[in-house]
Structure 1
Amino acid sequence: MMEQNYIIDHKSIHQVHPRTMSGSVRYCNRCVLVKPDRAHHCSICARCVLKMDHHCPWVNNCVCFYNYKFFMLFLGYALLYCLFIMATCLPSFIRFWKMYQEYKYAHCDRMIEKGSVSKICMEMINGDFGNAATTGRYHVVFAFFVALMFAISLGSLFGYHCYLVMNNRTTLEAFRAPMFRGGADKNGFSIGAFNNFKEVFGNSPNLWLVPVFTSFGDGIVYPTPSQEEESESLLSSERWERWGERARPFDERESSSFDEL
C-alpha cells in the first residue's frame, strides 16, 4: 500500500520506461521505493542514485545526474594539466636523455682518444652529469613519466566517457543494456549525438566548460526516441489492476538480482 501511495503522490513525474527481466517495474528492496529511470542502488552510498554511472573512489562519491558534467570537466582539465607538464618537461627530458645516451654508449674516454670531445661530454667530464643541477633533472624526468602515465589513463577514461555522452549511456548501461517493454536496447535513451551532449552540458555554449550545473532535466524522467509508444504511467499499469494491494508491483525473484545495480 505504501508503494502505491508513493506512486499516486508522484504520478506526474513517474513515467517509468526500464523494466526488470520479467517485465515488471524496478523496485529497490533496501530503499523501499520504485526506482526512477536509470537510477540504481549504490551499496557504498547506501541509497538509490539518479542516473548512476559508477561509484568513483577518487572523489569518494557516486558519479550521477547531478555531478556528471563536473566529472567530465575534471577528466578533461586533468588531462590538459598532464599534457602541460609533459610539454614543459620535454626540453629538459630530451637534453637529459641525450647526455645519458652519449655517456652510456660513447664512454667519453674513447671520444677523448679520438679527439672528438663534444660539449655534452665535456660537461660530463667536468662533473655536470652528477652535480646538483643535473640531479634536479632527475626529478624533471620523473615528473615527465608520471605525467605521461596519468595522461594515458586519463585520456583513455575521458575518451570512453565522451563516447558514453554522445550515445547517452552510463557505464552501467554500457555493460548491461536497459530493459524496456520491447526488450533490451542499449540506445534506448539516445536522442541524437548533439542532443545527448546538450543533455549533460546544457544549451549554452558559454557554460559548457564552466563548472556550473547546466544539465537538462530533473534526473527522474528522460526523453526516449519512442517515448509516445513506450511511455506508461505506473498509476494506470495493468499490474496495479491485477495485483492491487495483494503484492508489490514487481517480481521478487527477478528484481533481487538487480537490486545492487
Structure 2
Amino acid sequence: MALSRALRCCQRIFSWIPVIIISSVVLWSYYAYVFELCFVTLSNHLERVVYLLMFHVCFIMFCWTYWKAIFTPPSTPSKKFHLSYSDKERYEMEERPDVQKQILAEIAKKLPIFTRAQSGAIRFCDRCQVIKPDRCHHCSVCETCILKMDHHCPWVNNCVGFSNYKFFLLFLSYSMIYCVFIASTVFQYFLKFWVGDLPNGPAKFHVLFLLFVALMFFVSLMFLFGYHCWLVAKNRSTLEAFSAPVFQNGPDRNGFNVGLSRNLRQVFGEDKKLWFIPVFTSQGDGHYFPLRTLRESENPLLANEGKWMEDGGSDEESADENGPSVIIRTES
C-alpha cells in the first residue's frame, strides 16, 4: 500500500517534467528576446518599442492560454449518470452478464445516451461506477471518466476534454503566433550576425538559438494544430478519429457532425468576439450532443426530457456555471 502511494506520488511529480521544460524554454525566450535582442542588439528606439509591445501581447496570450489548458479541471459525469445505491446493489448482486446489460439498459432509458459499446451494450465504467455519457471516456492517467475526452496531453499535464478543449486549441494557435513573430523579427539580425555586420557577443548565440527553436516548435505545432482544426471541422475527438463512435445502427464517424458552422459553435460558442479569448464559451454541459442523423421528432430524449430535468437541482446549477445548456437539434 505504501509502495503504491509512493509510486503514485513519483508519477505525479514526473508528470510535471514536460510542463517544466516548456516553461523553461518560454522563460529563456523571454530573456533572449527582450534583453539580448531588444535592449542589446537593437539600436533603433522606435523599432525596439514596437517589437517589445507586440512581443508582450503574444507572450501574455500564450501564457494565459497555456495556464488555462493546464489548470482547468476536466469535467466529469454528473450524479445522474452514477448508479443509485439500489441499482448498484442490484447490478453487483447479479452474476449473469446478459441480465447486467438489461439493468444498465433500463437505467439508461432515463438518460440522454445514444452511443453504445462495440458489443452494443450500454457503456459502463466499472472503475468509476458510472454510465458513460456520449463521448465520455475513462482516462487511466487521471483515473476518472472525462466528458468529451480528446486525449491526455503530457505537455499540459492534463486531460483535454469538454471543459478545456477550446483553451487547448487557443494554446496551440497562440504558440504558433508566438513562434512566427519571434522568427520573423529575429531573422534579419540572424543574417547580420551571420555575415558579420554585428559584433560577436552573447547576444549572437541567443539570437541564433531563438530562430532555430522558434522554427522547430512552429513546424511541430503546425501539424498538430492543423490536425485539430480538421477534427473540429468534422466534430470529432482524437479518440473518435481512431475509433468511430458506435450508435444503435452501428459505427458512424460522422455521427456528431452537424455542419461546419454548428461544429465551430459547439467548441467556441455563439459570440464570435469571445472565440479568441480564453474564457469558457463552449455550448452545452458536455453530457449530450446534437446528432447528425436524428430528427427532433424522432429524438427519444424529448419524450424523457421531464424525467431528465425534474430532479435537476444542483446539476442544473453546475451546468449553468460551465456554460449554457444546449437543446438537441439535428439536421436531416
| TM-score after normalising by structure 2 | 0.57
- RMSD of aligned C-alpha atoms? 2.5
Correspondence for 2:192: 95
Q: Could you tell me which residue of structure 2 aligns to residue 171 of structure 1?
A: 238
CA 1:196/1:62 → structure 2, altered by over 3 Å: closer, same or farther?
same
User: Number of matched residues?
Assistant: 203
Aligned partner of residue 227 in structure 1, secondary structure: coil
2:222 to 155, 161, 164: 155
Kindly indicate whether structure 1 or structure 2 has the higher relative contact order, using CA contacts under 8 Å at least 6 residues apart.
1
TM-score (normalizing by structure 1): 0.71
- Pick aligned residue for 1:214 from 270, 278, 281: 281
**How far, CA to CA, are the matches of 1:182 and 1:94 in structure 2?**
61
Q: 1:46 aligns with which of 136, 143, 151?
A: 143
Residues 5 and 35 from structure 1, CA distance in 2 versus in 1: closer, same or farther, beyond 3 angstroms? closer
Give the aligned residue type for 2:221. Answer: L
Is the CA contact 1:181–1:230 (under 8 Å) kept in the aligned structure 2?
no
Q: How does 1:179-258 map to 2 (within 5 A)?
A: 179-228=246-295, 231=299
Aligned to 2:207: 140
Select 2:182's aligned residue among 85, 90, 113. Answer: 85
Stretches of structure 2 that go unaligned for 5 or more consecutive residues are: 1-86, 92-102, 305-332
Of the candidates 143, 158, 162, which is equivalent to residue 61 of structure 1?
158
Give the residue type in structure 2 aligned to 1:72.
L
- Counterpart amino acid of residue 226 in structure 2: G
Higher share of residues assigned helix: 2
Residue 60 of structure 1 and its aligned partner are, at CA, apart by 1.1
Q: Is the 8 A contact 1:54 1:171 kept in 2?
A: yes
Residue 98 of structure 1 deviates from its aligned partner by 3.6
Tell me how far apart the structure 1 counterparts of residues 189 and 246 of structure 2 sit (CA, whole Å): 54
What do residues 17-72 of structure 1 show as CA deviations (whole Å, max 9, x unaligned)?
A: 11111111111111111100000000111100000000011111100001000111
The equivalent residue for 1:259 is none
The Cα of 1:193 is off from its aligned counterpart by 0.7
Cα deviation, residue 138, structure 1: 2.1
Runs of 4+ in 1 over 3 A off after TM superposition: 3-10, 228-233
| Structure of larger gyration radius | 1
1:230 and 1:95, CA in 2 relative to 1: closer, same or farther beyond 3 A?
farther
Deviation (angstroms), 1:5: 9.3
Q: CA deviation at 1:93?
A: 1.3
Is the 2:104–2:122 contact (alpha carbons within 8 Å) kept by the matching residues of 1? Answer: no
